[in-house]
């Protein structure tokens, strides 16, 4: 018993001697990132991959956590909620068609139509999946319930890059171009 008490004495002494005294300043953060206050995370900007149909058009989506007074917003299922905004440039006009932005789970079992998009009007919406795919298709109406096979752009959420359905199913018929070319 004495040995245990004796070995704890130096630890207690160090803790008492190193503790700040009353009225003495404690460590002040040197940088804003060291502050204990929560700060907003910068949006993630992802260049979407065009298909041959897109020609010289470009698309990008930005993803950020949905705002919350508690730091993080989650769905009822416990998934993070994200705000996603898609913008396009130089999208070719197509008679009788509207371009629609979709968000789907990685397995393509669930999807949401975020709305129609044009060169001068981005589309935004909220996503409640941890892994998802964002894509743009040409449709006959902006309120389509499911997408056609006319894909123009696609991109993955950062967490979907581990394993996806891209290259399978409806995405297999469209060879994609490298957006950096």
Left if phi > 0, otherwise alpha if psi is -120 to 50, otherwise beta: which for 4? Answer: alpha
User: Is there a contact between 152 and 138 (Cβ–Cβ < 8 Å)?
Assistant: yes
pLDDT tens for the chain, residues 1 to 181? 444 444 444 433 433 444 444 444 444 444 444 444 445 667 889 999 999 999 999 999 999 988 888 878 888 888 889 999 999 999 988 888 999 999 999 888 999 999 999 998 999 999 999 889 999 999 999 999 999 879 999 998 887 766 545 555 555 555 544 444 4
Distance CA 93, CA 118 (A): 9
CATH class of the domain whose range is 40-171: mainly beta
The C-alpha angle 166, 169, 172, rounded to 5 degrees, equals 65
Report domain extents, the chain: 40-171
């Amino acid at each position: 018993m004495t040995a245990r008490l004796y070995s704890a004495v130096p630890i207690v002494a160090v803790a008492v001697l190193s503790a700040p005294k009353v009225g003495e300043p404690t460590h002040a953060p040197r940088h804003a990132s060291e502050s204990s206050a929560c700060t907003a995370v910068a949006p993630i900007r992802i260049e979407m991959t065009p298909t041959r149909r897109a020609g010289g058009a470009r698309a990008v989506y930005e993803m950020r956590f949905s705002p919350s007074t508690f730091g993080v917003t989650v769905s009822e299922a416990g998934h993070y909620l994200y705000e996603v905004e898609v913008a396009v440039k130089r999208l070719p006009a197509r008679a009788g068609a509207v371009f629609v932005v979709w968000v789907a789970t990685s397995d393509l079992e669930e999807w949401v139509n975020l709305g129609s998009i044009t060169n001068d009007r981005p589309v935004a919406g909220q996503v409640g999946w941890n892994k998802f795919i964002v894509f743009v298709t040409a449709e006959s109406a902006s309120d389509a319930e499911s997408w056609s096979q006319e894909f123009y752009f696609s991109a993955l959420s950062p967490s979907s890059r581990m394993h996806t359905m891209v290259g399978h199913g409806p995405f297999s018929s469209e060879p994609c171009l490298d957006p950096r070319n």
